[in-house]
């Protein structure tokens, strides 16, 4: 959706490695924002984005107007049932309907052989994978690793919203993920134990308001009581009015070419 950062550029570099041609879409999609969310103030920096993409030597940039994607009278939406109602879907009930609709349209317009998505939005990757499989779309979804700031915060265009104090507090998301992963490495297998520890760490930060912390199976986002090779810890939290998400795979590491789950964290 624009406001490009190093995470986005890592997708483009990976695409150049595995593709003959690279197309980038820039579109702040209105249908994935709820009525009280940040569509109007979402960061937009088209001139800077185009300059960055030119330096990356992409072959084409698609910058449609809203009226091109959703013309007058538009009334068709694509919904992935079940997966879209979990995790972020609980607090953002229309979000994934907008995501799957616009992604389906973009894939239909450009008909790529590969489509790369960042694993920071792990649920999005999983939902889109199901969309592609269910609709028999001839494209392979390639999840790519999370790119982080030097202090561990996952790169996101919404990080621009954070003031200095909120930016410091936001690192607790990463620290909590790392704590849980270390506990699993030491032999902990109880999701309940891990989630108690994660919640206590996050709730100790007064600027942070937790939306959810869940340990789920990356294949279907179902909750896990015991850690398995497919376990992912996913978080969402607010700092002020800014909602941030993050996740880590607790055991499994996947090569980038696999699409049954996600890549290893970076």
Residue 261: is its pLDDT beyond 80? no
pLDDT tens column, 43-98: 999 999 999 999 999 999 999 999 999 999 999 999 999 999 999 999 999 999 99
Fill in the DSSP letter of residue 223.
Answer: B
The gap from C-alpha 129 to its chain's centroid, in whole angstroms, comes to 13
pLDDT tens column, 118-140: 999 999 999 999 999 999 999 99
pLDDT tens column, 157-208: 999 999 999 999 999 999 999 999 999 999 999 999 999 999 999 999 999 9
Q: Are 146 and 178 in contact (CB under 8 A)?
A: no
Fill in the DSSP letter of residue 38.
Answer: S
Q: Which residues are annotated as catalytic? A: 8
List Cβ neighbours of 55 (8 Å cut-off, separation of 6 or more): none
Where in the sequence of the chain do the CATH 3.30.1300.10 domains occur? 157-249
pLDDT tens column, 201-239: 999 999 999 999 999 999 999 999 999 999 999 999 999
Where in the sequence of the chain do the CATH 3.40.50.620 domains occur? 6-144
Neighbours of 206 (CB within 10 A): 8
The whole-number pLDDT of residue 264 equals: 52
Q: Which fold has domain 157-249?
A: 3.30.1300
Taking each helix axis from N to C terminus, what angle separates 164-185 and 191-203, rounded to the nearest 10 degrees? 160
Residue 258: is its pLDDT beyond 90? no
The whole-number pLDDT of residue 216 equals: 98
What is the CATH code of the structural domain delimited by 6-144? 3.40.50.620
The whole-number pLDDT of residue 207 equals: 98
- Both ends of the chain: CA-CA distance in Å? 22
The whole-number pLDDT of residue 259 equals: 38
What's the rounded Cα separation, in Å, for the pair 45 and 192? 42
Neighbours of 201 (CB within 10 A): 18
Residue 262: is its pLDDT beyond 90? no
**Confidence band for 253, pLDDT divided at 50, 70 and 90:** low
The whole-number pLDDT of residue 163 equals: 98
**Confidence band for 260, pLDDT divided at 50, 70 and 90:** very low
This prediction has a pTM of 0.94
Alpha carbons within 13 angstroms on the beta-carbon side of residue 85 total: 3
Residue 265: is its pLDDT beyond 60? no
Pinpoint the alpha helices (H) of 114-240.
122-134, 164-185, 191-203
The whole-number pLDDT of residue 257 equals: 42
């Amino acid at each position: 959706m624009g406001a490009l950062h190093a995470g986005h550029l890592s997708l483009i570099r990976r695409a150049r490695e595995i593709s003959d041609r690279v197309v980038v879409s820039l579109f702040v999609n209105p249908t994935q924002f709820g009525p009280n969310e940040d569509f109007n103030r979402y960061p937009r920096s088209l001139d800077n984005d185009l300059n960055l993409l030119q330096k990356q030597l992409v072959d084409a940039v698609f910058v449609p107007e809203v009226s091109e994607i959703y013309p007058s009278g538009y009334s068709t939406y694509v919904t992935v049932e079940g997966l879209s109602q979990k995790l972020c879907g609980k607090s953002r009930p229309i979000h994934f309907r907008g995501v799957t609709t616009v992604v389906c349209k973009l894939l239909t317009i450009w008909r790529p052989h590969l489509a790369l998505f960042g694993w920071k939005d792990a649920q999005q990757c999983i939902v889109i994978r199901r969309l592609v499989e269910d609709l028999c779309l001839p494209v392979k979804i390639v999840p790519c690793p999370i790119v982080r700031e030097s202090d561990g915060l996952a790169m996101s265009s919404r990080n621009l919203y954070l003031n200095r104090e909120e930016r410091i507090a936001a690192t607790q998301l990463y620290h909590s993920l790392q704590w849980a992963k270390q506990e699993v490495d030491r032999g902990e297998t109880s999701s309940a134990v891990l989630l108690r520890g994660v919640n206590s760490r996050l709730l100790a930060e007064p600027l942070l308001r937790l939306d959810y912390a869940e340990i789920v199976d990356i294949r279907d986002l179902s909750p896990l009581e015991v850690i398995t090779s497919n376990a992912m810890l996913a978080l969402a939290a607010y700092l002020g009015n800014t909602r941030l998400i993050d996740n880590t795979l607790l055991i499994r590491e996947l090569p980038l070419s696999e699409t049954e789950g996600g890549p290893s964290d970076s």
